[in-house]
Structure 1
Amino acid sequence: MNLSPWDRHLKRSISCAAILLAASCAAFAQRSKQDKAAGYDRAARATVLHEANVYISPDADAQKISLVTPGHEVVVIERNGPWVRVFANTDVEEKADDADKPDFVPDDSTVTPASGWIRDKGIVSPSTKNGDAILYGTAATLEEQASEPHAPKNAAEQAHLLYRRVADYFPDSPLAPAAAWRSADVRWQLEKLDISTLPSAREQEAYLRPALYDGEMKKVIKNYPGSKFAAMAAFDLIDNKLCGDWQGLPKCPEMETGLYEKYAQQFPDGPKTAEALYDAEYRQGVLVTMYTVQEEKKRADNAASHAQSIADQLKTKFPASDYAARGTSLAFRIAQGISIYGTDRD
């Protein structure tokens, strides 16, 4: 059928209107979903301290439909004697919908959002008396267990989630800043370990390997500015900028020295400042070795002088720190012509 120019214009206008209407409806639906979730959060968010089976009815002989592990969230709907009806693992669904918060569960995890009944024990909500200390203490225990040779399965991941609940549920608690930091750091260290096993971890340039997720670290810095936890988070963020393998070239230790010295200037009295200075000194020691091999004596001498200057700074500012003694030892070895990078066999 042939349409006049006016008819074609009218058809396009109607199509555009339909598209805009659909987009508006979708946005409204998404906003309603978020509002509903926020309502649940205000009313009855909670987590569990132990593995809790989710049953189809309030009966221990009923069918099990899901499992809630420590740190994952439930939304309490009603209570029935020793039983609680919940929407379980609701946080898994939320993270799947949020591209800025990638899911962080074990590869073999099978948790899914589900509605059912769990036993009324080990449940901690924002209204639980001493709930902040209870969650923090459980997380600290799990974190310690995760460092043991035969650690319980998923102990570190559970510690990460429980620490996060402290900051989420009890933002005014004196434990909240430490909990936010420890939650972010547990996740950071686990992802750092995973990435270190990839072939790309040996690449010289940082952009050639997967970046560690920095959202939680940046949140610590934003929410607790000027605190020691913000300083520690900023130190961890340096990891994303470091080279993988130096490949015997001065480029990386030169750049990394700058990163650590800049950090030390930004956080002159931070809990990680002494470590940052030592890391900078070590890289200057590496440069002495590299430049010596390349027969660039002037640059080697400059790097040695730079390393000694950092060692003196450590001794002056952090005399009680192990890094001060380590810096003095490192400077001595450099002055003695002992190779800091590679092997040293006379």
Structure 2
Amino acid sequence: MTNAIEIAVSHQLGAFALAADFTSNGRLTALFGRSGSGKTSLVNIIAGLIRPQRGRIAIDGQVLLDSERGIFVPKHKRRIGYVFQEARLFPHLTVRQNLLYGQWFAPKTDTVGSEIADVLDLLGIGHLLHRHPGRLSGGEKQRVAIGRALLAKPRLLLMDEPLASLDEARKAEILPYIERLRDAFGIPIVYVSHSVAEVARLASNLVVLDQGSVIASGSTIDLMSRPDVPLLSAAPEAGSVLDARILRHEPEHGLSVLETQAGQVQVPHRAQPPGSQLRVRILASDVLISLQPLQGISALNVLSGTIAEIGARRSGGSALEIGIDCNGASLLARLTSKSAAHLGLKPGQSVYAVVKSVSIDGQ
């Protein structure tokens, strides 16, 4: 399975015009944007709940919509799983019965016995089978809803802000399960979110929507550190994402040493063994820039690089974003315009990015 998603649609919804054109080969493609940018309308079009005036949709080469050729596969034949903001479980059915309802929609030629066990194990819901939804937490309900969608054997899974109704504790509970789903099943996922943190942690590919149009699409790692995508770079939680491998642990200091394309970084101890792959996220507000190598400082991470791009200062604000190329990896730093002017920063200039170990978030 290539996980290829091809979308090129346009549709008028009252006064709102949606025009989305992108392709993705990622395991989890995030649709990111403010409320009202067209994210939910777009996933409803993909699901077949809305028939657009014009466009083409194909999943792994299977054409679901082609307005020029008169092709429109109805929603019940698209084999698309949909997980909503609310779990939408049947309250009168047990967890087992809710899951079996999803299995009822699977192609009849498939055998699903072993997959029920796989889904229960993946989502950690085997002990909930005899409960009713009213006795579940918000995170447990969403895991059951995901399991129900998976048992329908979809060719694509749509997740429309599945964490939006959960508090921070429940979000932290369910995020690892979504990561396991992304990595363990060969099902492409389209994930709607307006949270930079969720996108940075989960998405392999990213599509940024603004006022009904796609303003950027591509690798999440590339887009997160671009100053010219203000919806991402101007967010308070903006930052960079790096792929990393654990080199070793330093238990005497409570640290782990990671290898990244930007260089070695030291972070608070990670539970995974050496050799494990993970992502690290560095907030733009936690990156300092120096023109010279620093000595006698507490920060353990000093990465050499060059200024790749300087974003424009936002109207009425004092901050701007600086893109730094560190050995081919991109870091994003947020400075005041006064600091940037004081340092005389310009594209192509050699600099050092300084990051405290405790500031680096690893997933």
More helix by share: 1
Q: RCO greater where, 1 or 2, for CA within 8 Å and sep 6 or more?
A: 2
- Normalised TM-score (structure 2): 0.29
Structure showing greater Rg: 1
